[in-house]
Structure 1
Amino acid sequence: MNVNIKGKRVAIVGGAGFIGHNLALKLKELGAEPHIIDSLQVNNLGAFTSGISKLPTDDLYIQFINERLDLIRQNEIPMHIVDVREYQLLSPHLNSIQPDVVVHLAAVAHANRANKDPYHTFDHSMRTLENTLDSVKDTKPHFIYFSSSMVYGNFGEEFVTEKTACEPLGIYAALKYSGEKLVTAYNQVFDLPITIIRPSALYGERCVSRRVGQAFIENACRGLNLTLNGDGSDSLDFTYIQDLVQGIVLCIAKDEAKGEIFNLTYGSARTLMDLANTVLEHFPNVELELKPRDKLMPKRGTLSVDKARTLLGYEPAYPIEVGFLQYIEWYKSLLEKHPEHFGV
């Protein structure tokens, strides 16, 4: 990636998560100065060591998160352990960093969980966002907000662009879209330079959100059948983490990103059946079970990335035949080394 961000200070709020730690590692590699702000509670160590979730994957996810933290330490990336809901704690930490860029990732990262627990989702998504915005409104760093493809609701066309009308469905999507409006308002009132990013169906190593592709692979590793909600014809724009990280880095590096909304995805949807069949090819003893479709899951598809290509030079490089296969091989190596984490 031909960009110059050397010496640029970047505060990543919620930065110990899946997206954040991968971004921090890439920024460090490129000579920037990333700082991570995180409470390690939401979808992180606190969630999986408390004994509350009682999921069979808890031990596995604790291993993933500890690997993240090891990588952060090995690369000497400063980490500020702060509950972002606490304004009086967050503000001085952000001021001490004096960031050129703030990437806001602190949020509940799973639509199903958000719809089941609206209060928790609001507390960890909107309250954290408002505190971060208010902490930096006077110093005016470039503020990058992570929204979601879910803000579009049901895709009415073959693909959506950033100009497609948003009709969010469910608590998660409504809060993401509310976040976009709040970020835009801070730009209008305080001249805060902003960029809004809409990702889709992320996957990759050390994720603990257990989205559909991850659930497929983990079930297969355990010798369990894959469960697919619907008939498999639903399609998603599956995006490998390194494609997304490329897009974020370009947003940080290029002034053309300011004031814009970008779809940052692979840019070509695939069906859930395609994804399931890819897993079944690698785990021939596993079968597929179909269950009723979740009514709160919108009909989605391809997100056009033409705008990001034109303004930023974004070039996604990981179709599922490359990125998802790499993801499967990573899991298979874990299964070989640590079968106990899969109950095998």
Structure 2
Amino acid sequence: MDKFTNLKGKRIAIIGGAGFIGHNLALKLKSLGAEPHVVDGLQVNNLGYYTSGYTTDPNAERYISFINERLNLLRQNEVGLHIIDVRDYHLISHTLNSIKPDAIVHLAAIAHANRSNKDPFSTFDHSMRTLENVLDASKSSGTHVIYFSSSMVYGNFEGNAVTEDRQCNPLGIYGALKYGAEKLVIAYNQVFGLPYTIIRPSALYGERCVSRRVGQAFIENALMGRPLTINGDGTDGLDFTYIDDLAQGVILTISKEEAINETFNITFGSARQINQMAEIVLSEFPGLKLMRNPRDGLMPERGTLSIDKAKQLLGYAPEYPLERGFIQYIKWYKDFAEHNPKLFSG
């Protein structure tokens, strides 16, 4: 807690803040005495998407319940909620002028590589367009902008641990747009002096996520007695990161002057095989089958991200290895399923 002593009363605008990362971050900031403001259109991977009839996702009812729980938690904790379309330049400008934030965390994006590759227009519209609007609306105030990039900008990993200064060679639409967005953020600093921090997370997991990444798919299948499915042989290493560790890292970039105009890997800092994650699930749900599908060729070979820079400059200290964070996540899911059995009966 002493790491965050200067947060009290700080106004933080979280763009795309009703999503998985954003609402968890807002709740943590509020508990530390900050004044978070969530800015979100509730359309991308959110309530509008799952209730509009646009998707035939069989998990829609369950994910609507998760999203409603997010919104209830934000209300209960008196977090400001501004429901606007960030693609509208005048709306986001007016909203930021009214909030007068000390820092802006930009999360708005299509948050899934496969969806990005299938729908490049929507990915650009909701990821790059929203970012450009926020940067332009912030250039005169000089507000610190914290941009959420991705470990996907690196492309195929090489060596033991990827450092922030390594050359980036992204694969596919998602990684290319994230890297292009990083360059845009840096350009606004070069031209207008706008202070920034770029964060590169990896393989996130945690409560009330609706992106159905690999760990979430494992748990949901397990709760419904279905086989676990792995794309490839399962030896791929991912730097799995629990949401509380990520939130710690983001809050440090808000709190510390050393974060200004820097790029950080904010992960656990140690890759684990997908097979190891599956083994944890199988130990919690004995008797399940394991199936394998071909590997997605557009997914880069990833691994460990070095967090030495974040440790040295920010004092970042992740606390949730897979055996702790993922078990906590499974317990949350089991409790949710126990109270909402109809959502897991399909």
TM-score (norm 2): 0.98
Shift of 1:25: 0.6
The equivalences for 1:1-344 within 5 A come to 1-2=1-2, 3-4=4-5, 5-343=7-345
Rounded to whole Å, the distance in 1 between the matches of 2:53 and 2:224 is: 21
String of CA shifts for 1:139-172, please: whole Å, max 9, x gaps. 0111100000000000021210001110000000
Partner of 2:108, secondary structure, is coil
- Which segments of 5 or more consecutive residues in structure 2 lack a partner in the other structure? none
Partner of 1:321, secondary structure, is helix
Rounded to whole Å, the distance in 2 between the matches of 1:284 and 1:239 is: 25
Shift of 1:173: 0.3
Partner of 1:43, secondary structure, is coil
Amino acid at match of 1:13: I
- Tell me, yes or no, if the aligned pair for 1:222 and 1:342 is still in contact at 8 Å: yes
Rounded to whole Å, the distance in 1 between the matches of 2:304 and 2:203 is: 11
Rounded to whole Å, the distance in 1 between the matches of 2:125 and 2:105 is: 19
- Moved runs in structure 1, 4+ residues, more than 6 A? none
Rounded to whole Å, the distance in 1 between the matches of 2:27 and 2:335 is: 22
Amino acid at match of 1:41: Q
Q: Once superposed, what is the RMSD of the aligned Cα atoms?
A: 0.8
Amino acid at match of 1:318: Y
Partner of 2:197, secondary structure, is strand
- Tell me, yes or no, if the aligned pair for 1:223 and 1:285 is still in contact at 8 Å: no
Amino acid at match of 2:287: N
Q: Which moved more, 1:112-121 or 1:330-339?
A: 330-339
Rounded to whole Å, the distance in 1 between the matches of 2:70 and 2:301 is: 33
Q: Which moved more, 1:250-259 or 1:331-340?
A: 331-340
Rounded to whole Å, the distance in 1 between the matches of 2:181 and 2:39 is: 19
Rounded to whole Å, the distance in 1 between the matches of 2:52 and 2:229 is: 27
Rounded to whole Å, the distance in 1 between the matches of 2:168 and 2:255 is: 28
The number of equivalent residue pairs is 344
String of CA shifts for 1:245-303, please: whole Å, max 9, x gaps. 00011000000000100000000000000011111111113111011000000000000
Partner of 2:131, secondary structure, is helix
String of CA shifts for 1:4-29, please: whole Å, max 9, x gaps. 21111111000011111111111111
Shift of 1:76: 0.7
- Tell me, yes or no, if the aligned pair for 1:221 and 1:342 is still in contact at 8 Å: yes
Q: Which moved more, 1:4-13 or 1:175-184?
A: 4-13
Partner of 2:322, secondary structure, is coil
Q: Which moved more, 1:318-327 or 1:43-52?
A: 43-52
> How high is the sequence identity, in percent, across the aligned residues?
67
Shift of 1:53: 1.7
Q: Which moved more, 1:54-63 or 1:96-105?
A: 54-63
Rounded to whole Å, the distance in 2 between the matches of 1:50 and 1:167 is: 36
Partner of 1:114, secondary structure, is helix
